[in-house]
Amino acid sequence: MQKRKIAILGSTGSIGTQALEVIEANPDNFEVEILTAQNNADLLIEQSIKFNPNCVVITNESLYDKVSTALAHTDIKVYAGMKAVEEVVQMDSVDIVLTSMVGYAGLLPTIKAIEAGKHIALANKETLVVAGEIITKLAQQKGVNIYPVDSEHSAIFQCLVGEFHNPIEKIILTASGGPFRGKQRTDLEKVTKSQALKHPNWVMGAKITIDSASLMNKGLEVIEARWLFGVQASQIEVVVHPQSIVHSLVQFQDGSVKAQMGLPDMKLPIQFALNFPNRLKSNFPRFDFTKYPSLTFEQPDTKTFRNLQLAFDAMAKGGNLPCIMNAANEIAVEAFLQDKIGFLAMSDFIETCMTKVAFIEKPSLDDYVQTDEETRRFARTLL
């Protein structure tokens, strides 16, 4: 089989670095074509020297000289800025674009890649949260596949292989519950960012770890699932599963339920997405049932962790409301990490934005871009 040439958007983050581990372990299957990073110039330089991509992009333009000088002795092309990311994903040599940039920033590069007919390995859930209808329609028009990289959506995708002709009755997304599972609102009034950054099962970047602690990450995943798998809000359920062994489940119309299981390790869904439909042999740790004699499941507490309910509300109303919610959440998490806002206050902050920013029932791409900008401006006034 011919090597697949991979563009990794966000190569210095948690998903990007693990994707490079997968590529390094499978040199006969994959080749790095493009690497991009926002601020971590040192790691981008190190990765570039090791993997020798065709080109790299540092989106923080003030770091261009540093990266360019460090790679001057190589044949690697160096570019800077977000526009450059949107351009390089369209290169003829790229087979798959792994979108692992953080937040809304991944939207426009993903659209440009789809327009150029590139298959997408999607780790940037915000792309579908903000503009799911536009993205899925565009992918259908261009004959582009979107392979989910989130462990939960990868699990659902794996459960559906061989079942695409069978209607889904229900999707069940599992959530670990994060570091504050079982806590009451009074317990969370003085939570610190260091406490919120201690996820019990997964090692992730700061933004997604805070989202996991507040259950916003699960809310974003609910909206992502709605578009990835063509289901309605009423067909999506969330259950808290503290062991993070069952990654998600699908229930079919005959009542049968399929689950995908394994140890918490993002390299498996990354590898599955990059090499679909074939499974590659790996040396990943294997799950041992005898070490997990009890797997438990419980209802999420949406009164304490209100972000999950806000996401269901945004999905139900549709339009640009998920876009508003996402932008407000990005500002709220940033403020929490800078000690400008309390943990519980993030939900109130997001809800205020959702009620105050203008609602658009059938938004265009330009409407989404303007909504994101407007929400961020309004959100910063609240701080």
In tens digits, what is the pLDDT along the chain, a chain of 383 residues? 689 999 999 999 999 999 999 999 999 999 999 999 999 999 999 999 999 999 999 999 999 999 999 999 999 999 999 999 999 999 999 999 999 998 888 999 999 999 999 999 999 999 999 999 999 999 999 999 999 999 999 999 999 999 989 999 999 999 999 899 999 999 999 899 999 998 777 667 788 899 999 999 999 999 999 999 999 999 999 999 999 999 999 999 999 999 999 999 999 999 999 999 999 999 999 999 999 999 999 999 999 999 999 999 999 999 999 999 999 999 999 999 999 999 999 999 999 999 999 999 999 999 999 999 999 999 999 99
What is residue 106's DSSP assignment? Answer: G
Assigned fold of 318-383: Rna Polymerase Sigma Factor; Chain: A (1.10.1740)
Domain 4-148 listed as CATH 1.10.3660.10: no
CB-based contact 9:121 (threshold 8 Å): no
DSSP string, 251-300: EETTS-EEEEE--S-THHHHHHHHHTTSPPP--PPPP-GGG-S----B--
pLDDT number for residue 42: 98
Q: What is the pLDDT of residue 201?
A: 73
pLDDT of residue 198: 86
In angstroms, the CA 103 to CA 330 distance is: 7
Q: Name the residue among 22, 54, 17, 51 with its Cα closest to residue 37.
A: 17
- Sorted by where each begins, the domain ranges of the chain are 4-148, 153-300, 318-383
Task: Tell me the residue type at 382.
Answer: L
- Give the per-residue pLDDT at 202: 67
Sign of the Cα torsion 112, 118, 123, 126 reads: positive
143 three-class SS: coil
Q: Which residues are bridge partners to 166 per DSSP?
A: none
| Pair of tokens at residue 273 | 């997405």
Please indicate whether the domains covering 4-148 and 318-383 agree at the CATH topology level: no
CB–CB of 130/368 below 8 Å?
A: yes
Q: Concatenated DSSP letters for 188-202?
A: HTT--HHHHT--SS-
- The pTM (predicted TM-score) of the whole model is 0.93
